[in-house]
């Protein structure tokens, strides 16, 4: 069920990225939402393990890097 929800989040992010004027928002949005969802699974959902928390940390770092990379860019 978690994989299906992550696929849904990917589709929503793709839709956001395809909006006029917002191409740099899709990937940071996806990475942030996935990090939040995986953390939710770890805290509330009962999923656990070092790989889960590594994925949460990886997505948070990726979100930060994507957000910093898109600051100051103008859409084409």
In contact, 35 and 56? CB cutoff 8 Å? yes
Whether the CB-CB separation of 65 and 24 falls below 8 Å is answered with no
Q: Give the pLDDT of residue 71.
A: 76
Q: Collect the ranges in the chain with pLDDT lower than 50.
A: none
> Quick one: pLDDT at residue 28?
87
| Alpha carbon distance 51, 54 (integer Å) | 5
pLDDT at position 75 is: 59
């Amino acid at each position: 069920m978690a994989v299906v929800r992550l696929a849904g989040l990917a589709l929503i992010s793709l839709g956001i990225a395809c909006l006029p004027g917002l191409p740099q928002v899709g990937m940071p949005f996806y990475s942030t939402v996935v990090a939040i969802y995986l953390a939710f699974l770890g805290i509330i959902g009962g999923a656990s393990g070092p790989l889960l928390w590594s994925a949460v940390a990886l997505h948070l770092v990726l979100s930060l890097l994507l957000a910093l990379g898109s600051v100051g860019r103008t859409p084409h």
